[in-house]
Amino acid sequence: MIYKKPMLSKFMKIDTTSTKLGEFLLLLSAIFWGSTFVLVKGATEHMGINLFLAVRFLLGSIVLLLFTWKELKKATKRAWINGLILGIILWLTFLTQTYGIQVTSATNSALITGLYVVLVPFLSPFWTKIMPSLKMTFYAVVAFLGLVLLTVDFTTSFTVNYGDALTLVTALLVSVHIILTGIYVKEEKPLVITQIQIMTVGILSAFFALLFQETLIPKTGIPIIITAILVCALISTVFAYSVQSHFQQYVSDSRTAILYAFEPVSGVVFGVLFGDVFLITGWLGITLILIAIIKTSQEIGDLDDTSEISETSS
């Protein structure tokens, strides 16, 4: 996911080794994020969705707490409020995404969720004065055409899968989450906000798992459940967010945007490898959506880099 990074000072000497390592680790993070769509779909076929999210995020928050507990103790009231707001939105994001993926393919889930990149420029004016460019508008039209080709059943009744519709809600929530994160992290340390969010998701998920009396010990699919929880909690959450926090300062926004665009690409690759099948219209839709996501990511990154150069040289 694309987040604002601290502006590099013109007086800072860029470490080439850190830049190359940062690019590699950010790419690796995006690939891991893409792989989780298949894992989550497999795991939630054997255990309750709220229980899966509870274990995933509580485990992630406990591990991350090892790195953040000193800063968390000094967190302000505003940081807790902002973190809780973002945490609730993040919980709704994963809830809709995980329910959606149960009735759609992992590839569809990855691509439709990835549309947040295209949606952000059109939702941000509600909080900022930044309007989308003509290029972004064109790419949004391309993404919409791709979405229609991917999700509409042209062979029968021209209906849209419920899971696809629910995942589109996920993309909207991710967009709002990114915009608000960009606002809130200006006031507090990003890793502290991340910690509060992850704890919030874990606690809310645990509450609803108990409320709906989900089975605490699944009887089948134990290997896929353990793999999904470990990858999602330790790699996709703790590792990826730690990498993002530290190394994104060495990588330009435009490069970061392109690297993160590999998340839906990775989701498509893993989805197809694990059995997702598409008609010609579906493949055309996939192609259009990926083009729209990658080009919009590049456009956003280029705008951020231009803004950064302007601010640095002033």
Whole-number Å distance between alpha carbons of 49 and 27: 28
Provide the pLDDT for residue 261. Answer: 80
Region 174-185: what's the mean pLDDT? 84
If 0-12 CB within 10 Å is exposed, 13-18 middle and 19+ buried, where does residue 80 land?
A: middle
At residue 4 the predicted structure's pLDDT band, cuts being 50, 70 and 90, is very low
| 46 part of a folded domain | yes
Whether residue 163 is contained in a domain is answered as: yes
Q: What's the average model confidence in pLDDT over 52-64?
A: 93
The mean of the pLDDT values for the chain is 84
In the predicted structure, residue 16 carries a pLDDT above the cut 70: no
> Which amino acid is located at 294 in the chain?
I
- Asked whether residue 304 is assigned to any structural domain, the reply reads yes
**Given a cut of 80, is residue 88 above it in pLDDT?**
yes
Q: Considering only residues 191 and 111, tell me which one the structure prediction assigns the higher pLDDT.
A: 111
Can you give the pLDDT at residue 306? 52
How high is the pLDDT of residue 15? Answer: 53
Model confidence over 227-260: pLDDT tens digits? 999 999 999 888 887 787 677 667 776 677 778 7
- The set of residues, in sequence order, having a beta carbon less than 8 Å from that of 205 and lying 6+ positions away, is 50, 51, 53, 54, 57, 58, 91, 95
Question: Does 313 have pLDDT greater than 70?
Answer: no
In a domain, 11, yes or no: no
Residue 10 lies in a domain: no
Q: Is residue 21 part of a domain?
A: yes
Strand partners, 160: 152
What does the pLDDT read at residue 253? Answer: 62
Question: Quick one: what percent of the chain has pLDDT higher than 90?
Answer: 44
Whole-number pLDDT of residue 6: 38
pLDDT for 245 equals 65
Per the domain annotation, does 114 fall within a domain? yes
Q: Smallest Cα–Cα separation from 182: which of 124, 118, 133, 241? A: 124
Total domains in the fold of the chain: 1
Find the range with the poorest average confidence among 129-143, 149-163, 220-234, 245-259.
245-259
Q: What pLDDT does residue 314 have? A: 34
Q: 138 lies in a domain?
A: yes
307: containing domain = 16-313
pLDDT at 283 over 90: yes
Separation CA 223–CA 98 (nearest Å): 19
- State the pLDDT at residue 66: 87
Rounded to an integer, the average pLDDT of 56-72 is 90
SS3 annotation, the chain:
CCCCCCCCCCCCCCCHHHHHHHHHHHHHHHHHHHHHHHHHHHHCCCCCHHHHHHHHHHHHHHHHHHHHHHHHHCCCHHHHHHHHHHHHHHHHHHHHHHHHHCCCCHHHHHHHHHCHHHHHHHHHHHCCCCCCCHHHHHHHHHHHHHHHHHHECCCCCCCECHHHHHHHHHHHHHHHHHHHHHHHCCCCCHHHHHHHHHHHHHHHHHHHHHHCCCCCCCCCCHHHHHHHHHHHHHHHHHHHHHHHHHHHHHCCHHHHHHHHCHHHHHHHHHHHHCCCCCCHHHHHHHHHHHHHHHHHHHHHHHHHHHHHHHHHHC
Q: What is the pLDDT of residue 254?
A: 64
| Bridge partners (DSSP) listed for residue 152 | 160
**Average of per-residue pLDDT across 154-173:** 86
For residue range 195-227, list pLDDT tens digits in order: 999 999 999 999 999 998 888 878 899 999 999
- For residue 89, what are its two tokens? 């939105």
